[in-house]
């Protein structure tokens, strides 16, 4: 809404603040802000202030604090007030990444995504639009510049947690000014050998400052100010000699941008980022202080705008955090420690302020209105800023030229049909260039650089199936609006393939001449089957199943009803999913009587157990999971997919937003839509169906379409169509991330992979390259033939790749890993665990780094062949058994001892209990080089063998003795069942 009486509104706000502060036992004084200069018809500059997590009651708390401090609350002097809806794609409670994307691009996206749509397509941001139109741009935050809100205005990445990738992307987008925290993501690190973002920033001409005095002295752009390793301090804890206030950073940003912009104008986003943190931690003391500090920054922006008359100032939030309430006595209370669905406030002042004078707008409207106000376009492709190199870089040596095969998609193949062989020749289009991924100073060669054609692991990965259960309450929403199209849209937005529906009408007076299940199915292009339970209002009422895949048969079952309550039923369908018949049940159990529910669940269990093949049970069980006999009887033969998901998913993904969101996500609460607090809707799956172990694979989308929320889970069908093959396969993992690391070191990574494949081929084994795209196939290949995976000093391995290796071993696969394989993951931070991501699988614990003194010249066996030798007992607690001696004899057959290394380096590890040490570090004369418990060089742990040197690199493989060792290791692993 638009308030024309500016000064009157300000006085009224101060009066409110006084009343509230008196209730809190405080006295305040303040004066109205000066009236603004007459606004010009159009805006030249836009300053967008975002209070991260700031809802209506956060503002009220700041108003009280402002009055108590004897100052006017700047927000209250702004003439336009509106409210903003914040839900992310699919109607979910948003995170800051999806919210920033919406406010920057005008498009909804999934949580954790930055600057891309749900399909991963980059979206132009308002910052880029101003930049491309010749204006100046800036980002200021009290959080890390790589955190979700500032990054959402300038980068296009899938995961908000990829800090170093975001830092490099920020530099490529090239805002003229960036001030905040996040130094750790820009600095060089010990293990990441690509060019650090700090160096990229210098190459792009950025003046980099890290002290308050340096910022005060800065006179020109571009400017990068990094004042904390991660986030800046809370305002209450801030040392002004060490860190500037948000208001001072905003003031300097406005000064520098306005001086440089001239008539071209500027866009500046200023974030009070730590308001959100006070909501997550339910910190009633720091919260109002953070809002007050944010308001002081807003005052700086308003003073500039009122002097100029050409600047539009907007204040809003990305979401509300904490469900904050303020009691009559001014005390703060919290209803959660996570994000909520509550609308947030928006305030505006300046040219074109009337565009925002609406009761409620969506967060996607904000950038559209800003673009209209400043006269730029959000349309068109996304482009990086032109690179201005401050100093010419020396040409990279020729040895750095690489051709890296880049994956074209992160999704696993979905076909369930397997070709005749698991190994296919490489496409003529491979390897493709990854110039976009390579460091700026490292040239990437053309496709002609790498000529050998590699056999590539191919075949069908499991078929992914997205299943939903949804009690639709005959189309009437929690908001009492009847809208069956809304139900269809929720199903479509979630990408569901098979949906079990409850409380479905067919040709009743309420629904009109409509079979609701058929209507939804027709709208989506699905098949459907309706199972009537009772006659209702001139029509029928019951359950239904709709499916993207053909429903080949269906049968409706009436369930036991011992207490003669409302009839209950279950519809059963056979769905043809690309040749695999999947049995699907949808049911709705008794609501009042637990004994009837148990009888119905028991009967349903017998029905589902009799079905042949993969089976899914969906429905409203009217029972919570804890101590529920109704769900317990089903779980005698079927998995509760939400519980399985909790075990499979990386829990770090679920805890980023605190206990409230963690419990919400893990609990799968489906009732009620406004404040979900219990789970009564389930999807159970037979044991041959795998729950996808990815964050977000099991989810509860937010929608008001019914009195229930839908529950969605992604499953994978078993890979049934694969004939057994007794011929061993040796698979070699290649890693584009490692290739970039090697490129920076001037090493020929592709030569290593080609040499491994050549050596393995000459040993007589079928071999294949495993790319990131084909990693998900590994467990299924292991299930059909004896397979060994070679991990050759893989410097960087994602959590998903690590999980694929674990599942591969669990399925019967064998692994030969060398040197620093899985030493680091992409989530590298300044502090934290730097150990092997797969160390437990390898049977080792990290103890020292590559190249540590004394250097290793050779490896030798633990025993001398008689079971006792100088190296016996080389690890603490190890035992030289007859079985270990036999394995050692096979590994060292026909090899000179000690085995000399072409490269005298090695990773120092300790063998874990239960692992067998088959080789120890020595010098060329056979003398041990480290203390006994730190001297393991070759360790076997079940189906996995780990060797601590880069045994599989090109230089090592030129040695006949090393090739013999590799051949023996492969042979030994193939004997393991």
Provide the 10 A C-beta neighbour count for residue 427.
11
Q: Which of 312, 365, 291, 376 is nearest to 80 (CA)?
A: 312
- Cα-trace Rg, the chain: 32
Q: Which of 21, 77, 88, 96 is catalytic?
A: 96
Q: Mark 31-56 as b/e (b = at least 16 C-beta within 10 Å).
A: ebbeebeebeeebbbbbbbbbbbbbb
Helix, strand, coil shares, percent, the chain, to 5: 30, 25, 45
Which residue stretches of 515-657 are H helix?
A: 516-524, 594-610, 629-634, 641-648, 651-654
- Cβ–Cβ < 8 Å for 138, 268: yes
Task: Answer yes or no: 96 catalytic.
Answer: yes
Provide the token pair at 29.
């004084």
Chain-centroid distance of CA 444 in Å reads 28
Evaluated on CA atoms 311, 314, 318, 321, the torsion sign reads positive
CA distances from 405 to 428, 736, 750, 771 (A): 12, 7, 10, 8
Q: What is d(CA 950, CA 954) in angstroms, rounded to the nearest whole number? A: 9
Q: What is d(CA 792, CA 54) in angstroms, rounded to the nearest whole number? A: 49
Q: Which of 843, 965, 956 is nearest to 905 (CA)?
A: 956
Chain-centroid distance of CA 930 in Å reads 41
Q: Which of 259, 253, 215, 210 is nearest to 232 (CA)?
A: 210
- Cβ–Cβ < 8 Å for 274, 232: yes
- Cβ–Cβ < 8 Å for 529, 544: yes
Q: Which of 885, 954, 884, 941 is nearest to 915 (CA)?
A: 941
- Local structure of 818: helix, strand or coil: strand
Q: What is d(CA 796, CA 884) in angstroms, rounded to the nearest whole number? A: 32
- Burial category of 359 from C-beta neighbours within 10 Å (exposed 0-12, middle 13-18, buried 19 and up): exposed
Q: What is d(CA 750, CA 776) in angstroms, rounded to the nearest whole number? A: 22
My answer on whether omega of the bond before 929 falls inside 30° of 0, hence cis, is no
Which residue stretches of 611-699 are H helix?
A: 629-634, 641-648, 651-654, 658-667
Question: First CA to last CA across the chain, in angstroms?
Answer: 72
Q: What is d(CA 150, CA 114) in angstroms, rounded to the nearest whole number? A: 10
Q: What is d(CA 866, CA 860) in angstroms, rounded to the nearest whole number? A: 14
Q: Which of 253, 115, 229, 248 is nearest to 177 (CA)?
A: 253
Which residue stretches of 703-762 are H helix?
A: 736-745, 749-762
Residue 160 main-chain phi, psi, to 5 deg: -60, -20
Provide the token pair at 39.
């606004």
CA distances from 536 to 407, 541, 600, 619 (A): 54, 6, 22, 20
CA distances from 738 to 165, 735, 744, 801 (A): 15, 5, 10, 13
My answer on whether omega of the bond before 837 falls inside 30° of 0, hence cis, is no
Residues labelled as active-site residues: 96
């Amino acid at each position: 809404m638009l308030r024309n009486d500016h000064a009157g509104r300000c006085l009224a706000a101060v009066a409110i603040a006084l009343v509230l502060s008196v209730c809190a036992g405080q006295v305040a004084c303040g004066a109205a802000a000066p009236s603004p200069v007459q606004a010009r018809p159009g805006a030249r500059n836009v300053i967008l202030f975002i209070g991260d997590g700031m809802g209506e009651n956060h503002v009220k708390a700041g108003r009280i604090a402002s009055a108590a401090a004897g100052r006017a609350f700047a927000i209250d002097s702004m003439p336009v007030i509106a409210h903003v809806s914040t839900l992310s794609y699919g109607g979910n409670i948003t995170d800051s990444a999806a919210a920033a994307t919406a406010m920057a691009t005008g498009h909804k996206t999934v949580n954790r995504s930055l600057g891309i749509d749900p399909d991963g397509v980059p979206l132009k941001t308002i910052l880029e639009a101003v930049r491309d139109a010749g204006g100046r741009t800036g980002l200021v935050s009290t959080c890390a510049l790589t955190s979700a809100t500032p990054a959402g205005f300038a980068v296009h990445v899938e995961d908000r947690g990829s800090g170093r990738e975001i830092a490099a992307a920020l530099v490529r987008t090239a805002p003229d000014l960036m001030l905040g925290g996040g130094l750790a993501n820009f600095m060089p690190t010990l293990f990441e050998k690509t060019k650090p973002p700090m160096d990229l920033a210098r190459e792009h001409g950025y003046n980099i400052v890290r002290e308050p005095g340096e910022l005060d002295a800065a006179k020109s752009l571009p400017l990068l100010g990094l004042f904390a390793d991660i986030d800046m301090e809370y305002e209450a804890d801030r040392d002004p000699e060490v860190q500037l206030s948000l208001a001072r950073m905003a003031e300097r940003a406005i000064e520098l941008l306005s001086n440089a912009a001239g008539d071209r104008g500027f866009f500046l986003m200023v974030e009070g980022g730590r308001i959100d943190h006070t909501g997550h931690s339910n910190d009633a003391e720091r919260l109002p202080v953070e809002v007050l500090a944010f308001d002081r920054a807003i005052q700086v922006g308003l003073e500039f705008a009122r002097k100029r008359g050409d600047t539009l100032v907007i204040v809003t939030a990305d979401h509300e955090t904490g469900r904050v309430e303020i009691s009559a006595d001014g005390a703060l209370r919290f209803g959660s420690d996570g994000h909520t669905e509550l609308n947030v406030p928006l305030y505006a002042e300046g040219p074109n302020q009337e565009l925002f004078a609406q009761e409620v707008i969506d967060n996607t409207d904000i950038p559209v209105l800003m673009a209209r106000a400043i006269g730029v376009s959000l349309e068109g492709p996304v482009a990086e800023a032109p690179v201005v190199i401050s100093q010419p870089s020396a040409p990279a040596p020729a040895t750095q030229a690489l051709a890296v095969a880049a994956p074209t998609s992160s999704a696993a193949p979905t076909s369930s049909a397997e070709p005749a062989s698991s190994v296919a020749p490489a496409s003529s289009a491979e390897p493709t260039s990854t110039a976009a991924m390579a460091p700026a100073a490292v040239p990437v060669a053309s496709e002609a650089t790498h000529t050998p054609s590699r056999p590539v692991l191919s075949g069908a990965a499991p078929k992914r199936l997205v299943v939903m259960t949804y009690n639709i309450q005959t189309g009437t929403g929690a908001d009492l609006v009847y809208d069956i199209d809304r139900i269809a849209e929720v199903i479509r937005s979630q990408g569901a393939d098979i949906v079990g529906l409850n409380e479905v009408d067919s040709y009743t007076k309420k629904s009109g001449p409509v079979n609701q299940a058929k209507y939804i199915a027709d709208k989506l292009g699905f098949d459907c089957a309706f199972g009537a339970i009772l006659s209702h209002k001139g029509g029928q009422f019951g359950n239904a199943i709709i499916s993207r895949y053909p429903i080949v048969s269906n049968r409706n079952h009436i369930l036991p009803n011992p207490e003669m309550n409302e009839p209950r039923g279950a519809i059963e369908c056979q769905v043809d999913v690309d040749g695999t018949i999947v049995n699907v049940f949808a049911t709705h159990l008794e609501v009042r009587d637990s004994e009837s529910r148990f009888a119905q669940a028991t009967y349903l269990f017998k029905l589902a157990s009799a079905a042949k093949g993969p089976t899914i049970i969906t429905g409203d069980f009217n029972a919570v999971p804890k101590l529920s006999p109704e769900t317990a009887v089903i779980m005698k033969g079927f998995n509760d997919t939400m519980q399985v998901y909790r075990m499979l998913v990386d829990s770090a993904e679920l805890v980023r937003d605190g206990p409230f969101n963690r419990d919400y996500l893990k609990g799968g609460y489906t009732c009620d839509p406004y404040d979900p607090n219990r789970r009564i809707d389930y999807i159970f799956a037979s044991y041959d169906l795998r729950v996808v172990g990815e964050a977000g694979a099991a989810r509860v989308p937010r929608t008001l379409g019914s009195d229930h929320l839908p529950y969605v889970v992604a499953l994978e069908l078993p890979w049934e169509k694969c004939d057994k093959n007794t011929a061993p396969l040796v698979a070699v993992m290649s890693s584009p991330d490692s290739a970039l690391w090697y490129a920076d070191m001037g090493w020929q990574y592709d030569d290593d992979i080609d040499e491994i494949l050549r050596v393995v081929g000459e040993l007589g084994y079928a071999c294949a390259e495993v790319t990131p795209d084909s990693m998900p196939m590994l467990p299924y290949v292991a299930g059909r033939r004896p397979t060994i995976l070679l991990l050759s000093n893989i410097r960087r391995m994602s959590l998903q790749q690590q999980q694929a290796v674990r599942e591969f071993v669990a399925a019967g696969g064998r692994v030969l890993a060398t040197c620093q394989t899985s030493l680091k993951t992409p989530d590298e931070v300044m502090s934290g665990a730097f150990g092997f991501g797969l160390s437990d699988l390898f049977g080792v614990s990290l103890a020292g780094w590559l190249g540590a003194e004394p250097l290793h010249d050779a490896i030798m066996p633990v025993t001398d062949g008689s079971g006792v030798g100088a190296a016996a007992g080389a690890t603490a607690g190890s035992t030289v058994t007859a079985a270990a001696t036999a394995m050692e004899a096979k590994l060292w057959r026909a090899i000179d001892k000690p085995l000399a290394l072409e490269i005298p380096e090695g990773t120092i590890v300790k063998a874990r209990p239960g692992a067998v040490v088959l080789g120890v570090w020595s010098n060329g004369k056979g003398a041990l080089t480290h203390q006994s418990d730190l001297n393991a060089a070759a360790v076997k742990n079940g189906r996995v063998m780990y060797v601590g040197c880069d045994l599989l690199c090109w230089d090592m493989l030129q040695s006949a003795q090393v090739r013999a060792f590799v051949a023996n290791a492969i042979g030994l692993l193939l004997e393991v069942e």
